[in-house]
Amino acid sequence: MRNSSRLIRGFGLPLLGFALALLPLTREAFGQEKPIRIGLLYDLSGPFAAAGSVASQIGAQIAIDLTNERGGILGKYKVEAVNADSQSKPDVAINEGERLINQEHVDVIVGVYSSAAAVPLASKVEEQKKILWITTAVATSVFKDRNLNYVFRAQIHSDQYGQAGIGFLTEHAKADLGAEPKDLKVAIIYEDGPYGTGVAAADEQYAKQAGIQIVLKEAYSATAPDLSSLVTKLKRARPDVILHAGYNPDITLFLRQAREAGLRFKMLIGNGAGYSQLDKLTATFGSDIDNFCDIDPVPAQHLDASKLAPGLGDLIKIMVDRYKAKTGANDVPPHVSMGFNQTWILLQSVLPVAIQKYGGTDAEAIRKAALDVDLPVGGTIQGYGVKFFPPGTPLSGQNERSTPVVMQYVKGQIKVVWPTAIQNVPPVLPLPAQSPYAMN
């Protein structure tokens, strides 16, 4: 793996053939003094801002800053970021996306936290044949059966959350929860946008395949002012495990009302978004959330850097140090890695090839270069590889090599507990007796 020419090419040291060397990079072919303009479209205000969108934007900006400090793309083309705030509203995201394309004339739009915004925005950008490079939104429905040609996502997709969560439960049901998978009872609760709906559908699909009982499946609005009726239904259903897909405000409301009503369970497994904001959950609930689990792409700093491509360990340290310096945060959530990693892939593995092999940074050149990317496992800071499904396939534009992990909150820290092969510590199952949510 370490000697792979494809890996080296992907992280900014292109090994170009003789034919590529003959392509002149004149000012006429590609403006040498013109910066590459990238629109960063994130929710910088509204409820999604604190749920991971701002963290992801900071990660993307760190990748851009670091690239410029190293001389820019191919050591000569600087990157100019144009920030836009989608305000946690899909209609604003669409308007800002159109502004970035038509008024700011960006070469690429990078970002999008909310899947509710990503689904319609992908259609708008596709219609204009411009590039949308999604760093954070996870709904499978953004890509499935839409035959997108100009929208790419190296990030995982929501079906993989269900696969990971049920895989984790199946592996630990008998030994740790004292029940065969067929005797395990789960409840699936989720916000009713594309993100929550996609995760819940995958949870249901994989639970049924594993023979796990689903005792409740219930959607709610992420802006609901009261979730007490949902809590009451859960108390009646008495699930062993709750699988939850939600954002920060609704998670906070749910956990507060669940504790007040005396809801008990053996384990709660979150699915990214608000559950990946450990600092915010800890500030509200303290040790009450100890031993809850969360599924998401891994925060890069929790991987064994020796198992990654050379130089990625140093890259992770730079990202972590800069995020902490900018925010003063102790925890570096996975959204930082998402924003940085996906942007770094674009800057180091795609744009150099677009310029040198395909003649510039127009949408067609970037599209072709993205389809050329071939990074093996261990080739990114989040551990997975990158190869995009080609046009004509059900998930065209989605990374076929992306993978999530299951993490557990351990005394204010995040630990990787699944897959077993890369875990930091073995999981604690069920919730210990001192948890206010523990089932007796």
Boundaries of domain holding 351: 5-156+303-372
Residue 328 in domain: yes
427 within a domain of the structure (yes/no): no
pLDDT in tens, 349-404: 999 999 999 999 999 999 999 999 999 999 999 999 999 999 999 999 999 999 99
What tokens were used for 272?
Answer: 């990214």
Tens digit of pLDDT for each residue in 8-62?
333 333 333 333 333 444 333 444 568 999 999 999 999 899 889 999 999 999 9
Q: Are residues 276 and 194 in the same domain?
A: yes
For the segment 169-179, the average pLDDT, to the nearest whole number, is 94
Report pTM.
0.81
DSSP annotation string for 165-220: HHHHHHHHHHHHHSS-GGG-EEEEEEESSHHHHHHHHHHHHHHHHHT-EEEEEEEE
Residues 338 and 281 in one domain: no
Percent over 70 (pLDDT), the chain: 92
Same domain, 282 and 313: no
Q: Are residues 39 and 167 in the same domain?
A: no
CATH at residue 174? 3.40.50.2300
| Higher local confidence (pLDDT), 131 or 247 | 131
Do residue 130 and residue 29 come from a single domain? yes
If you search the block for the tokens 């507060």, which residue do you land on?
A: 256
Of the candidates 108, 95, 89, which has an alpha carbon nearest to the alpha carbon of residue 36? 108
DSSP three-state, residue 109? strand
CA distance 413 to 177: 23
Residue 410 corresponds to which amino acid?
A: V
| Tally of domains in the chain | 2
In-domain check, residue 430: no
Q: Is residue 108 part of a domain?
A: yes
Beta-strand ranges (E) seen in 103-173 are 108-111, 131-134, 151-153
* Same-domain pairing of 152 and 201: no
Strands 405-410 and 413-418: antiparallel
My answer on whether 18 and 85 are in the same domain is: yes
Indicate the pLDDT class of residue 307, thresholds 50, 70 and 90.
confident
Do 277 and 414 sit in the same domain of this protein? yes
3-state secondary structure of 405: strand
pLDDT for position 33:
61
Task: Name the token pair of 276.
Answer: 């990946």
Which tokens sit at 170?
């199946």
53: left (phi over 0), alpha (psi -120 to 50) or beta: alpha
Question: Is residue 435 in some structural domain?
Answer: no
DSSP string, 33-72: TSPEEEEEEE--SSTTIIIIIHHHHHHHHHHHHHHHHTTS
Q: Name the maximum alpha-carbon separation found in the chain.
A: 73
Q: Is the peptide bond before 430 cis (omega within 30 degrees of 0)?
A: yes
100 with 233, same domain: the answer is no
pLDDT for res 76: 93
Q: How far apart are CA 26 and CA 354, in angstroms?
A: 15
Residues 351, 69: Cα–Cα separation, whole Å: 17
The answer to whether residues 40 and 111 touch, using CB atoms and an 8 Å cutoff, is yes
Tokens 């934007």 map to which residue? 57
pLDDT of residue 384: 93
Closest CA to 159 of 209, 93, 122: 209
pLDDT greater at residue 94 or residue 3: 94
Cβ neighbourhood burial of 91 (10 Å; 0-12, 13-18, 19+) = exposed
| Residue 247 within any structural domain of the chain | yes
Task: Specify if 345 maps to a domain.
Answer: yes
pLDDT at 440 over 90: no
- CA pseudo-torsion sign 68, 72, 73, 77: positive
Do residues 274 and 353 both lie within one domain? no
173 and 221 inside one domain: yes
CB 382 within 8 A of CB 43: no
Assigned domain for 355 exists? yes
- Does one domain contain both 222 and 271? yes
